[in-house]
Amino acid sequence: MKVHPSERTLRTREGGEARTPAAKDLGVLFGPRRLALTDPALRAHFQASGPRTPKIVAPARADLVVVPLTRLGAAPTDTALFVVDACESGEPLPPSRGGALRVGPGLGFGSPCDGWMLLAEARPLPEAGHVALVTQGGALLVALLDGLGGAGVGISRFVDIGGGSDVDVVACLAWLAADDATRAIVVAVGVVSRAADLVATVERAAALRKPVLALRIRAAADADTAFAADVEDAAMRQRGALVFGDADDLVETARAFARLGARPPARIVVSASKPSLAWAARAIAAVAGIDTAPSPGALVLQIPRDLPLVGARAHLAALRRAADGLRQLERGPRRPPAAPRGARERALDFLTRAEPTLTERETKDLLAIYGIEAPPEEIVSSPSSAATAARRVGFPVSLRVVTPDIRDLAGAGAIASGVTNGAQARGAYVRVLVAARRAAPSARLEGVVIAKTPPTGVRLRVATRLHPSLGPAITLGLAGEAGLAQLDQAVAACPLSLDEAAALVRDAPASRLLLGRKAAPAPDARALVRTLAAVSILAWDLRDAIRELDLTLVVRPHDEGCVVVEAAATR
């Protein structure tokens, strides 16, 4: 029998309008009065006995009926309709109306907690438990059922959604979040058509203290699609979900949730079940960075009874992920800090007088409204005023031309640095203006900025850009060519709380630079965290007015702060 799983979440369309999954009661899917198939020959096939036949274990109160593909619209009410195969012509499936809820083409669905399933695969009913499973591909459903079953994790409900389904991942997730039989949800996420709804549903599940474990299915994609997926993953994590790229890690973490129960332990401790294994306990604890001394409220894992010698590190990592996830759920809904009072009104008034692409000076003035620090600087219009301003700002200084028409000032030669006296300031003023005029004869030159030379420290690139439905996202990476690659950036959805900004710093590929090294003074990470949170609040507050921000920060050593040395904004 052919089964056509789908790796995409699609919404069926009727009369040119997208169907609303919420309009269908998913209780029909997970507790149907009737189970319907789309081919009369399949009824006997499903009910046949033998080790290699597909299985249907029907609830006692449900009838098994048959609805041909050509009469889907006539499906009985209160029916879960399983589309095993698609139309041979390749045309869209006809709509099902009334109370029938269609799922497929896919591998099946069921409620092991109620003792039933309909599955186009020869396998027994999964062991009943409290973890729900939603997939978008039959092979993935089988792999996760096998993996979770092998790890001793019982299933409450499962469904494999196909391209012709009346529901999508978001609708299933929302229903399962309110399901009394489900305590955790495993969901496979491919291409997301309703990212904002998905993130909001994850947040509602977290509010109900139900962890969501999302397996992200990635395919080859262009940079914009990959960035959108990164933002969606980050937004789900910020709202309490655990996002995985590897199914084995997800299965281990699901087993850890089952072991921990509803409350996270105060600590995780490794010990030996007998003295001869004490060395192994000490070695594993040292590698994992945990203790061997018991304490009140700690989860004590004995080797080898609770923790195998082989693979102990993976088990401990999964337990830590599960414990951190439970703590995040205990903290309750995220509460990003609010923007400074009146900042949005002042910023919008400022932007009404600015060009579509802001100059660096205008961008820094906008940042200042939100309390984001930049080195002292002045705009001048003559060589003599350049020398005077340089003395006020304090040597050494740098000079750059103010113009909305040249984006790459360094490439145009319109920047001078290392100026240490007034005579050099006068000469540099003339040189940068001549270079700018040569590079762009028609450019509007609005003056020259005299700025204090940026302090030494770690140079970082911080940028914001808009996701199609989630709004602005913020990225953090090294400045210069080393930070241009997307793989070298950490991503988060705006706005950020201080805890989320600190997590962004820890997740950055440059985290070892940011959090300090033994051979160098530690940068002021706390100032960086405050700056990242402020930039994210600005981007969120002005999401309808600013499309992109591109900043270069210098994080100074110890407690000396963090300043913006280069800035650009696009409306």
Rounded CA separation 554/523 (Å): 9
Handedness of CA 532, 535, 541, 546 (dihedral sign): negative
pLDDT confidence bin for 355, thresholds 50/70/90 = confident
pLDDT confidence bin for 65, thresholds 50/70/90 = low
User: Among the listed ranges 246-260, 269-283, 420-434, which one has the minimum average pLDDT value?
Assistant: 269-283
Residues 5-18, mean pLDDT to the nearest whole number: 29
Residues 320-338, mean pLDDT to the nearest whole number: 80
pLDDT confidence bin for 43, thresholds 50/70/90 = low
pLDDT of 376 over the 70 cut: yes
pLDDT of residue 466: 95
pLDDT confidence bin for 485, thresholds 50/70/90 = very low
Q: What percent of the chain has pLDDT over 70?
A: 77
Q: Considering the entire predicted model, what is its pTM?
A: 0.80
Rounded CA separation 255/248 (Å): 11
pLDDT of residue 66: 52
pLDDT of 387 over the 90 cut: yes
pLDDT of 517 over the 70 cut: no
pLDDT of residue 76: 57
Which residues have a Cβ under 8 Å from the Cβ of 231 and sit 6 or more positions away?
A: 467, 470, 473, 491, 493
Q: What percent of the chain has pLDDT over 90?
A: 35
Residues 138-164, mean pLDDT to the nearest whole number: 87
Which residues have a Cβ under 8 Å from the Cβ of 499 and sit 6 or more positions away?
A: none
Distance of CA 250 to the CA centre of its chain: 16
Which among 148, 188, 152 is positioned nearest to 168, based on CA atoms?
Answer: 188
